[in-house]
A and B are shown apart, each in its own frame.
Chain A
Amino acid sequence: MANVTITDVVKNYGSLEVLHGVSASVADGEFVVLVGPSGCGKSTLLRMIAGLESISDGEIEIGDRVVNDLEPKERDIAMVFQSYALYPHMTVRANMAFSLKLARRSKEEIDQMVNRAAEILDLSALLDRYPRQLSGGQRQRVAMGRAIVRNPAVFLFDEPLSNLDAKLRVQMRGEIKALHQRLGATMIYVTHDQMEAMTMGDRIVVMRAGVIEQMGTPLEIYDTPANSFVASFIGSPSMNLIDGIVQNRDGASVLETPDGTTWPLPANARVTAGAAVQLGIRPEHIHLDPAGLVAEPVIIEPTGADTHVQMRVGQQVLTGVFRDRPDIALGDTFHVRPDTSRAHLFDKASGQRL
């Protein structure tokens, strides 16, 4: 068990800098998810923690050791790859035992450790099979088994569920979380799927273009996104962002969009008239209200439990999520009221939360 401390870490490939001085810390036993769009540097950061990529500048500590110059095997970590990276010519048992054999453990010890890991992951019946004889979910579990047997201080996961179908992904999500609770180990998990990040992480680190945009618990990030990028990246469907200029009307601040519609602003908004801002409203905070703004449906997507509706309000296209089956049909109009008490405001130029 160990905490992980990342201090001002930089990664260059020649003259190209892909990580621009990243700092973060992961507490002992914590489950931290690195999330961000493709190319944001999250996998690079994970691979630097693993020792598969060199560290151009800065420091990574695992436990109380600086690991910058240590080989992967000396870092007391285990990693689960997106492709699982199981050795195709070895049985499940041999795959799981490989690291123990290299560590020159005794035969009895190896058997005992492999059997224990197989039991935890329900793999006991598959130990003599080859990876090609396993389903995707089983391979995934073997990859985790290979990590568990070594009893590492830190588990690293690099998009481990991307190759699974939707149903299996949800199931494995639960299994990884259960594993975390059972082992109590430090885990760092990379994904581009914000849903995985929200449901699995004790804390989420949102990254973009080589910098950390925000760190916090899933609900902190959801409820108070630090900027408009985090606001639109976390949450599905994405938050609605409405561009406009702050105006003073009858002593209250309102947002006026270029098409002339006005939107009420949160009462506590710290804005001055004339400022260019973005108003952020989550789809579930748009309510049906006969006294509200006129909306014209563009796309209606029933999911069963909810209905996602893309609608045009003035010149803005917004997405709303309504419980059950609202009485909305293409070609009609209906009325909505954004819940501005729960809206977010961002500076238009910097994107920062106001």
Chain B
Amino acid sequence: MTTKAKAKANERRTLALDILNHGALTLVALLFLFPFFWMLTNAVRSNAEVLAIPVRILPNVYEWGNFAQAWTQLPFGRFFLNSVIVSVSVTVITVFVSSLSGYAFARLKFPGRDQLLMAYLATLMVPGIMLIIPLYLIVNAMGMVNTFQGVILPVAFGTFGSFLLRQFFLSIPLELEEAARIDGASRLRILVSIIIPLSMPAIGLLSLFTFIAQWNNFLWPLIVMTGQDNATLPVGLTLFQTQQRTEWNFIMAGAALSMIPGIILAIVLQKLIYNSISLNAGMGGR
């Protein structure tokens, strides 16, 4: 074969491989997208059609009014606001507390530091579900049942967040902190002006994880929030499900609406995370 023919054969092989790879990736992506697709199509069917057999992939009649009806049939706006209050508060508190504890575990020297970190990490081994009853008893004893602080405080401090940020802080060159100390910065100033701006990828990630986890959190708000006015979205959606009948189409419409903030946040934070990574390429000036 001539070099030219070889190159051509190579090119063809690469192309075939590309098609194969992308075909496989597309298949997996479709598989993952299907539940969302199913949610969206069921959100615009009548409830009768949702339950109809044989199952149809696309709706017969598009009931766009389902969204408005789901929103108005129950105090959906109220649920939405409750979810925002809970998720934003938990995220802000978690990031704030995890930054402080992560920095302490990464950089401050105090006796028993590493043992304490181990003890923290050990709590990750305890299944969350085991803590629900003791936590409820504590919250109840503190008179915080059916209050926002009752939903927010017990979940607002994350071992995971402390550990994630500690690991990230450890990767920031110590010399940057020493330079800041010589420049006259206190520990807190170093954390705020140097460490946190350089840790935006990790903080963005932690914010996203925490927000979405809380936005979707069902069990804890269900237990603590006894009144309908205080229900968060996942709890509120269950109200479409009564003993007599389940309004699947409204549940799907409500679920679709409730996904919007998470998606927006993911897009916004994705940009932040990428920008910060490119910023860190010049870390330490090296």
Contacts and interface: CB of A to CB of B under 8 A. Distances in A.
Interface of A: 50-52, 71-73, 77-79, 81-89, 98-99, 102-103, 130-134, 139, 142-143, 146, 150, 163
13 contacts: A52-B181, A79-B182, A83-B286, A85-B285, A86-B285, A88-B279, A88-B282, A89-B198, A89-B279, A99-B182, A143-B285, A146-B183, A163-B286
Contact of A102 (B179, B184, B280, B285): B184
Interface-centre pick from A71, A89, A103, A133 (highest chain B CB count, 10 A): A89
Contacts, number: 85
Contacts of B197: 89
A323 to B, nearest CB: 41
B180 interface: yes
A83 B182 contact: no
Contacts of B180: 87, 98
A139 B283 CA distance: 12
Contacts of A51: 181-182
Contact of A131 (B181, B184, B189, B282): B282
Given A88-B279, A89-B279, A83 B285 contact: yes
A102 B282 contact: no
Interface string B144-188: 000000000000000000000000000001011011111111000
Contacts of B35: none
Given A73-B185, A85-B173, A146-B183, 10 more contacts: A50-B182, A72-B182, A84-B284, A85-B176, A85-B178, A88-B283, A89-B197, A89-B279, A102-B189, A130-B282
Contacts of A79: 178-179, 182
A142 B286 CA distance: 13
Given A77-B182, A102-B189, A83 B281 contact: no
B194 interface: yes
Nearest to B175: A85
Nearest to B284: A83
A146 B178 CA distance: 13
Contacts of A133: 282
A262 to B, nearest CB: 54
Contacts of B179: 79, 81, 85-87, 146
A83 B183 CA distance: 16
Nearest to A104: B184
A84 B286 CA distance: 8
Interface string B187-206: 00100011001100000000
Contact of A88 (B185, B189, B285): B285
Contact of A132 (B175, B182, B189, B279): B279
A98 B183 contact: yes
Contacts of B283: 88
A322 B67 CA distance: 92
Contacts of A139: 285
A51 B285 CA distance: 23
Given A85-B173, A85-B176, A132 B183 contact: no
Contacts of A88: 198, 279-280, 282-285
Contacts of A78: 182
Contacts of A99: 182-184
